[in-house]
A = this chain, B = another copy of it.
Amino acid sequence: MTEQPNAAPIEFHFDFSSPYSYLASERIEALAARHGRSVAWRPFLLGAVFKTEGTQPLTTYPLKGAYARHDIERTARGHGIPFVWPPRFPFLSVNAARLVYWVQDSADPSAGAGDPATPLVHALFRAAFAEGRDLGHAEATLDAAEAAGLDRAAAAAAVKDAAVKARLKEATEAAMARGVFGSPFLFVDGEPFWGHDRLPDVEAWLEAGGW
């Protein structure tokens, strides 16, 4: 299906440290394209949610954590998506998230359809979960930014920029105000879907126009 200029993009909220979000990031564009949609990347910080909800990173729960590790590896294998565990998990994703908003906000609005941060999002996610880099290290994040075509020095300055920092903070608060509590968390025309395992529901929703 061709792009429908009036169709809203699928809003993809995520924290870069979420393995299920990496898996979903590898599948969402093809799914969206099948229904004439684009994807708008909306990184946020899960840590802020954990404080409000009283929850913790998935893998810190004794039984649930062990299952999640197994399920994530099995899901990656089933979809043929390369997957490794980063050396630290969860890792600090704040710089990676800031870069996405910096790229989006500094892009030329007349450049056409599609999220200008798409190559960066994939480069960062793959650095972490396909190559096993630790995005908590500034150098690993900047390596991925450079691989996505960004100027390394400008990217290094951006993650320390007060306005960029504030932008991510606002985005996180805005996401929570809309009910986002986990990652990935998608909105399709305002309808919320949480989790990589809801992608078939997202597709069914787009096909049926809701139910």
Q: Please list the residues of chain A having a beta carbon within 8 angstroms of any beta carbon in chain B.
A: 49, 52-56, 61-64, 66-67, 70-71, 74-75, 77-78, 176, 179-182, 192, 194-195, 197-198, 200-201, 204, 211
Contact = CB atoms under 8 A, between A and B. Distances in A.
A194 B53 contact: no
Given A179-B66, A194-B67, A211 B61 contact: no
A61 to B, nearest CB: 5
A78 to B, nearest CB: 6
Nearest to A178: B63
Contacts of A179: 63, 66-67
B78 A211 contact: yes
Nearest to A180: B63
A55 B49 contact: no
A175 B66 CA distance: 15
Contact of A78 (B52, B192, B204): B204
A194 to B, nearest CB: 6
Contact of A201 (B78, B198, B201): B78
A153 B207 CA distance: 51
Contact of A200 (B55, B64, B176, B200): B200
